[in-house]
Structure 1
Amino acid sequence: MIRNLLVAALLAGSATVADAAQWNFSYVASVGTISGQIDGTLQGDANTIFVSSLSGLQFNGTPGPALPFLASASSVVGGIPGPPALSLDGSANNILACSTDTVSSGCTSDGFAFVPAGFFAPPPVFFSGPAYGGAFFESYNAANWSITPAAIPEPSSWTMLIAGFGLVGAVVRRRQVVTRAA
């Protein structure tokens, strides 16, 4: 009986966290702090994330407008095709995020961008619209970039966790029935 309980507890505790497809980020600019969540795919270099969406965006702790329209800044500014990308170490951020579908004209609405080196000046730059502080082409500083994986359990982990708790419950219930019969 103890063996069954031990097996059930091990099954319940074997739930693991998946390789993150979502990350929490923040960037401290001269005008304030932008933060939120990134959905995307980590590439083979284990540093670059191809961004599919941004959510939970805030500026200095206040919710900002959604930025559903994404492009790589280098494709909009310099015509160099590529997906919107952010990097874990902050060295290769290349994204333009807009609140309305004006990405191709340089995001004339609200939003923000990380533009890689060489498009406006040798250093990379950051700029943002009014809801995100209104930074105008300030030098980007990778030391002010922070990103951490968001813990999202895999569906199979949830299944194993529920099955483990069910097994623990069954063992406990069976033990109660056996105890009453004795």
Structure 2
Amino acid sequence: MQERDVGGYLIRVRRTRMWTQGELAQEAGVSPTTVSGIESGKISRPHFGTLRKLARVLEVNPQDFFEQEPAEGVGRSPAALSLRWARSTRDLEFERELDRASLQGLKRLIRILEEERGRLQGLYGEFPPGSEERLRVKGELRHIAARSESVSTSMLFHPERREG
């Protein structure tokens, strides 16, 4: 297992938020050159203070920039249900984890997905009709809506509900 590629990780998280390098830099209070340098690998060992600023606006733990990548399907647990996980997990793995998750974890995940749906709907309205950005946001909305419906279904038939 190798140490996480900081630049590659930053690119993935930034794109998940649908931000440009400039938008991320502005939100985090760092220069666009710094974001570009980290993503391209020109800055191979970014200052932890810079990563902390980026992590804050991206809503990730600063340590995530350094932790090792888990192997496919390894190291994830239902307790780790998150927006990032819901966006990046393949359908079959997503459904398996939902089946193993607690009712409380499912409730938390549905709340997170609904917040993201609202954020994306607001973002959708900011782009001109027919634009590439608007189409991309609409695709993300479909994906988040599908995940949300799947979680809702899992909640309906969760064993804790039947026992209670």
Looking at secondary structure, tell me which structure has more helix per residue: 2
Q: TM-score interval w.r.t. the shorter chain?
A: under 0.3
Looking at secondary structure, tell me which structure has more strand per residue: 1
Q: Flag the structure with larger Rg.
A: 1
TM-score normalised per structure 1: 0.24
Larger RCO: Structure 1 or Structure 2 (Cα < 8 Å, ≥ 6 residues apart)?
A: 1
